[in-house]
Amino acid sequence: MKKDYSRRSFIKNISLATFAALALSGCDTEAFDEFLQKNFKTLSKKEKDEIVKNLESKYKKKYGKEFHVSDKPAIDGTLFGYALDLSRCIGCRRCVYACVKENNQSRNPQIHYIEVLQMEKEKGIDFADSNAQYNPEKVPEKGYFYVPVQCQQCRKPQCVTVCPVRATWQEPDGIVVVDYNWCIGCRYCMAACPYGARHFNWGEPTLPVEEINPEMHYLGNRPRKKGVVEKCTFCIQRVREGKYPACVEICPVGARKFGNLLDPDSEIRYILENKRVLVLKQELNFQPKFYYFFGI
Amino acid sequence: MKDKFYGDINIPVILMILYIVLFWGCKNKIIENNEVYGGANGKAVNIMTQKAEEYAVEAPPFSDGIFPCTDCHKNLTPNPVRRVLVDWHDDISAMFNHDSENRWCLDCHDFKNRDYLRLASGKLLDFKESYKLCGQCHGEKYRDWKVGVHGKRTGEWNGKKEYLLCVNCHNPHSPIFKELKPEPPPVAQENIK
């Protein structure tokens, strides 16, 4: 029989094939809902509640544990800022792993939101000569200082500007977040970020079930999937409940400071008003809300 | 050809079914889209008026059996002459490097009542208030510590906070912060598979 390559038969066959595939896949309406879900910013309260409920039951099914997924909006009158005391940091990397655990980052392939750079005191802040792979018996090493780098939560975030689908934006409290359902994985934001703060899930993320943090936020530490970008959110699931980010809580030297930039009595405001602060790559004018200072 | 096209009902039917299936999920999802996202519909909490509460965590415990000091010292005649201790407290002598050139035990510990610390003014201080003793030399650190900039605070950024005392992190006899073993470095780029 002669093969029919006409346009008509193509349309006919493709329709049949799609329909058959849909029927065979068991018409999973949840997956459809998720696929057709709108951008988080445009969802109504009711829709959000429903999505959060579905996520909780989905995670329970997947991991066999109770989870709480929050969609708590920004608290009025807050703009989060962060300060890190370069004279205190000893480069112990406790923050890196506290962050991984708190934010359910993939263990393999490995994703770290915080990278601690070892720099020579003689050279000052010099990214080109910095070393993230240092691994001596004890830190700090003589003649070196340490600069932990994570998302700088810019006031003018260019990662947001370049996103072609608006899957990432700045919240009213200043946190730059990603809607993992809306991200198409084009990684433009990673190219736009001068701090290397965004990370891509190149493979299916793996999490040890017993280590999953069950307190989640939709825009924060809920499990990601392969092919989406993620980043530090100042632990949005913690800070919107009033708690300090995990890296602040773990730091053994108290080098990490966090607070509300709009509150004149906050620690962060005291630092800005009384210490000499600097931001990384100031010349780019992204205006980070992550300040470095010398407490000594 | 024309006849055949219109005669074949399959394609429109198939497409129709396909679209019904595709959009089944979102039939009850449209509408209500007039809520503003963000702080506008969140609870109004005025951070400015909330006064943060602060709590000190417990001071680290004394070495076993060392306190109260008077247990031993009440039977001893105090000797105010500066010397290196050899029989007792030799462990402290060995580690002592807190301006050891100019200071020794009785610059901070009271000569008469060993259960207390003593400020330069002669005022006695309970061990629980040791931070005041530190503050008389380290005034700048003391100021920073009181506002939460020096040292570590945990708890809530807008509420209850716990802060550590000087002696939680610094051994008063050897105050430099001790070195730590670093956690493992990240996987190097060349080892990523």
Straight-line distance from the first to the last Cα atom of chain B, in angstroms, rounded to the nearest whole number:
56
- Is residue A282 situated within a structural domain? yes
* pLDDT, average across residues B87-98: 91
Q: Do the beta carbons of residue B153 and residue B146 sit within 8 Å?
A: no
**How many residues appear in chain A?**
296
Q: State pLDDT tens for residues A262-295.
A: 999 999 999 999 999 999 999 999 999 999 999 8
Taking phi first (over 0 means left), then psi (-120 to 50 degrees means alpha), and beta for anything else, what does residue A107 get?
alpha
- Is residue A288 situated within a structural domain? yes
Query: Residue A16 and residue B164: Cβ atoms within 8 Å?
Result: no
Taking CB atoms and an 8 Å cutoff, what residues of chain B touch A265?
Answer: 52
Compare all CA atoms of chain B with the CA of A94 and give the residue at the minimum distance.
B183
User: What pLDDT is stored for residue A24 in this prediction?
Assistant: 66
**How many residues appear in chain B?**
193
Helix axis angle, A29-36 to B10-24, nearest 10°: 80
- Is residue A55 situated within a structural domain? no
Taking CB atoms and an 8 Å cutoff, what residues of chain B touch A100?
Answer: none
User: What pLDDT is stored for residue A18 in this prediction?
Assistant: 78
User: What pLDDT is stored for residue B21 in this prediction?
Assistant: 57
- Is residue A34 situated within a structural domain? no
Query: Residue A44 and residue B156: Cβ atoms within 8 Å?
Result: no
User: What pLDDT is stored for residue B22 in this prediction?
Assistant: 58
Provide the pLDDT confidence category of residue B116 given band limits of 50, 70 and 90: very high
Choosing among B5, B6, B149, B187, which should be mutated to test the A contact, i.e. which has the most A CBs within 10 A? Answer: B149
CATH number, position A233:
3.30.70.20
Half-sphere exposure of B47 (CA within 13 A, CB side): 24
Taking CB atoms and an 8 Å cutoff, what residues of chain A touch B177?
Answer: 90, 253
- Is residue A49 situated within a structural domain? no
User: What pLDDT is stored for residue A119 in this prediction?
Assistant: 97
Taking CB atoms and an 8 Å cutoff, what residues of chain B touch A254?
Answer: 150-153, 164, 169
- Is residue A214 situated within a structural domain? yes
- Is residue A31 situated within a structural domain? no
A16 vs chain B: nearest CA distance in angstroms? 7
Q: Do the beta carbons of residue A36 and residue A181 sit within 8 Å?
A: no
- Alpha-helical (H) ranges within A66-124 are 94-102
| pTM assigned to the model | 0.82
Q: Do the beta carbons of residue A148 and residue A117 sit within 8 Å?
A: yes
The secondary element (H helix, E strand) that includes residue B153 is: strand B153-155
Taking CB atoms and an 8 Å cutoff, what residues of chain B touch A110?
Answer: 186-187, 192
In this predicted structure, the answer to whether residue B11 has a pLDDT above a threshold of 70 is no
Interface confidence, given as ipTM, is: 0.84
Q: Which of A65, A116, A73, A66 is nearest to A92 (CA)?
A: A116
Query: Residue B46 and residue A90: Cβ atoms within 8 Å?
Result: no
Q: State pLDDT tens for residues B27-46.
A: 444 333 333 333 333 333 33
Compare all CA atoms of chain A with the CA of B181 and give the residue at the minimum distance.
A138
Choosing among A13, A15, A138, which should be mutated to test the B contact, i.e. which has the most B CBs within 10 A? Answer: A15
- Is residue A255 situated within a structural domain? yes
Taking CB atoms and an 8 Å cutoff, what residues of chain B touch A12?
Answer: 8, 10-11, 14
Strand-pair category, A115-120 with A144-149: antiparallel
Block means of pLDDT (10 residues each) for chain A, 296 residues, are: 78 82 66 83 93 93 92 96 97 97 95 97 94 96 97 97 97 97 96 96 94 96 96 97 96 96 95 96 97 92
Q: Do the beta carbons of residue A258 and residue A126 sit within 8 Å?
A: no
Q: State pLDDT tens for residues B40-73.
A: 333 333 333 344 577 777 777 787 778 898 888 9
Domain around A284: 80-293
User: What pLDDT is stored for residue B19 in this prediction?
Assistant: 62
Facing residue for A260 by CB, picked from B21, B33, B47: B47
Distance, CA of B131 to CA of B109 (rounded, Å): 14
The conformation of residue A174, written as its DSSP 8-state character, comes to S
Q: State pLDDT tens for residues A110-131.
A: 999 999 999 999 999 999 999 9
Provide the pLDDT confidence category of residue B87 given band limits of 50, 70 and 90: confident
Number of domains in chain A: 1
